[in-house]
Amino acid sequence: MNMIVQDETGSELEQVNALIRQYTITLQALEELSSFLQSKRHSSGSVASESGKSAPNRSLLDELAKLEIEMPSLTYRGKKNLLSSATKAYVLFFEQLIRDFPDKLTEVENALAANARLRSPFGRDRNNLYSNKDKDWIEKHSRELADGWFLDVNLDPPPMLEKVRVAAGVCNLVEGRDYTICLPSKNSQ
């Protein structure tokens, strides 16, 4: 984690601005790299420039390589997605389940409810994801997925990972073989 220290090399504001620039460069590099890799997959073996996508900016990738941080990602059945947040990786995993295992979703919902302390984080009724919360709060902290399913996204990465593993188990997905998910906590960056 970067620390802000005020010294003769610059003010605290300048150091904050430097950290923001570093973060922006990292996100730009990841977005370019992800887009480039996806275009290569869809180009059926042709070079990326033929598919209309140019190679990622080399200087951005060099900056990214210098940073020692874990980035949120989901590799699902061989397709790797670099994402900008743990929540996006978590949501994408459940979207994949909805697409690939529509007959297992009620079983996933029941397994997650049985594993939950207070409520199920996944279900057909958004209002059942939370207790004693108003409509605006519920809409802010849940995501509507495909086919009328909803997901609680008001979670930190460790509970997200636990829910992914429970859902994957119901669908007989094996971590490391069928999927790999990286949900770094905010404190690890």
Q: Domain extents for the chain?
A: 12-68, 86-188
Q: What is the pLDDT of residue 51?
A: 43
What is the mean pLDDT of the segment spanning 109-117? 86
Say if residue 108's pLDDT is above 90: yes
Contact 56, 29 (CB under 8 A): yes
Task: Go through 9-30 and write b for each residue having 16 or more CB atoms within 10 A of its CB, e for each that does not.
Answer: eeeeeebeeeeeeeeebbebbb
- Using alpha carbons, select from 43, 2, 49, 41 the residue that is nearest to residue 21: 2
What is the mean pLDDT of the segment spanning 123-149? 85
- Cα of first residue to Cα of last residue in the chain, in angstroms, is 6
pTM of the model: 0.64
Spatial distance between the Cα atoms of 126 and 135, rounded to a whole number of angstroms: 9
User: What single-letter amino acid sits at 138?
Assistant: I
Question: Tell me: the pLDDT tens digits for 35-70?
Answer: 666 665 555 444 444 445 555 566 665 665 555 457
What is the mean pLDDT of the segment spanning 139-164? 90
| Superfamily the domain 86-188 falls into | Replication modulator SeqA, C-terminal DNA-binding domain (1.20.1380.10)
The overall longest dimension of the chain from CA atoms, in Å, is 63
Residues 6+ apart with CB under 8 A from 181: 73, 74, 75, 89, 90, 93, 161, 164, 175
CA torsion angle for 98, 100, 101, 102 (degrees, to 10)? 50
Residues 6+ apart with CB under 8 A from 70: 182, 184, 188, 189
Q: What is the pLDDT of residue 168?
A: 96
Question: Tell me: the pLDDT tens digits for 64-95?
Answer: 555 545 778 899 999 888 888 899 999 999 99
Would you place residue 130 in the very low, low, confident or very high pLDDT band (cuts 50, 70, 90)? confident
